[in-house]
Amino acid sequence: MTMPHIVAIRAFTDNYIWVIRDHCHAAVVDPGDASPVLAYLQHEKLKLIAILNTHHHNDHVGGNAALLREFMVPVYGPANESIPTLTHPLKECNDPESEEGNAYIPEFSLSLRVLDIPGHTAGHIAYYGANLLFCGDTLFACGCGRLFEGTAQQMVDSLQKLADLPNETAVYCGHEYTQSNIRFARIIEPGNQALIKLEAEVKKLREQDIPTLPSTIAMEKATNPFLRCGQPEIIQNASNHAGKSLTDPVSVFAALRGWKDHF
């Protein structure tokens, strides 16, 4: 059995639909739009075998129904959100073998563990396994999702859960936001050398229209201001922006998130 590999399908202006594929099968993560997926499957002569959703937003689930008309496949997704086409509701479980805590794709012998990561939406989940992380709109390269249905504390906890994964974990997020996230991060932490280096690399990739993803957990810990709320330079800049001295990481996070919302 060969390890499946991951391919990006672009959708809308900046969404990525991630394809987990081998030479004849494909599973898709967050198909917001069916048409580019169907075109890809046809071009590559692949059979769809599963749909995985991270959260209920339409730019992540909008293509489910049309894909299901062509392929009768299981649809995995968060148990705590309403997604009409779901067949396998999932949530994080202590028992690593449990059925509702895993998406198992037999064609790839691939088991992806479910992590509950609320904040962007109330029931948002991530899929983790084989050094791959599909984290939807929670952790972005150098950024994080907006707080639509959750609190700053929830998002901090969710991001910490992802940051605790092994350094080499490949991070596949739902959008190409890296360049604008870096623009913000550079203002928050101008002295971060890893960030300066990343900015130059990302600029080169985007000039050639190449995706900047996947990132890695190690890279996010080194460059993502939302994972670095304990850094003195970040605490200082967040405090200056808030006009008061912020001490705990959740307040620093909340100040950064609010700042970025209007950036």
Residues labelled as active-site residues: 55, 57, 59-60, 120, 137, 175
For the CB of residue 54, give the shortest distance to Zn ion in the complex, in Å. 8
Q: Between residues 14 and 44, which has the closer beta carbon with respect to Zn ion?
A: 14
Neighbouring-strand partners of residue 117: none
Q: Which of 11, 5, 7, 15 is nearest to 34 (CA)?
A: 11
For the CB of residue 51, give the shortest distance to Fe ion in the complex, in Å. 16
Residue with tokens 């449990």: 98
Which residues ranging from 24 to 63 are in contact with Zn ion (CB under 5 A)?
57
For the CB of residue 187, give the shortest distance to Fe ion in the complex, in Å. 24
Phi, psi (degrees; rounded to nearest 5) at 112? -110, 125
Token pair belonging to 157 = 């906890």
Question: Which of the ranges 96-104, 131-139, 198-206, 215-223 carries the binding residues for Zn ion, by CB under 5 A?
Answer: 131-139
Q: Convert 121-186 into a string of H (helix), E (strand) and C (coil).
A: CCCCEEEEECCEEECCCCEECCEECCCCCCCHHHHHHHHHHHHCCCCCCEEECCECCHHHHHHHHH
Largest Cα separation within the chain, whole Å, is: 58
Q: Are 213 and 178 a contacting pair, CB within 8 Å? A: yes
Q: Between residues 4 and 174, which has the closer beta carbon with respect to Zn ion?
A: 174
Residue 137 interacting with Zn ion (CB under 5 A):
yes
Residue 176 interacting with Zn ion (CB under 5 A):
no
For the CB of residue 60, give the shortest distance to Fe ion in the complex, in Å. 6
Separation between Cα atoms, residue 251 and residue 153, nearest integer Å: 9
Q: Are 114 and 101 a contacting pair, CB within 8 Å? A: yes
For the CB of residue 17, give the shortest distance to Zn ion in the complex, in Å. 13
Question: Which of the ranges 83-91, 133-141, 229-237, 250-258 carries the binding residues for Zn ion, by CB under 5 A?
Answer: 133-141
Question: Cβ–Cβ contacts within 10 Å for residue 154, how many?
Answer: 19
Binding-site size for Zn ion (CB under 5 A) equals 2
Q: Between residues 57 and 186, which has the closer beta carbon with respect to Zn ion?
A: 57
Q: Which residues bind Fe ion (CB under 5 A)?
A: 59, 137, 174
Q: Between residues 52 and 252, which has the closer beta carbon with respect to Fe ion?
A: 52
The site partner of 176 among Fe ion, Zn ion, none (C-beta below 5 to 8 Å per kind) is: none
Q: Between residues 46 and 159, which has the closer beta carbon with respect to Zn ion?
A: 159
List interacting residues with Zn ion (CB under 5 A).
Answer: 57, 137
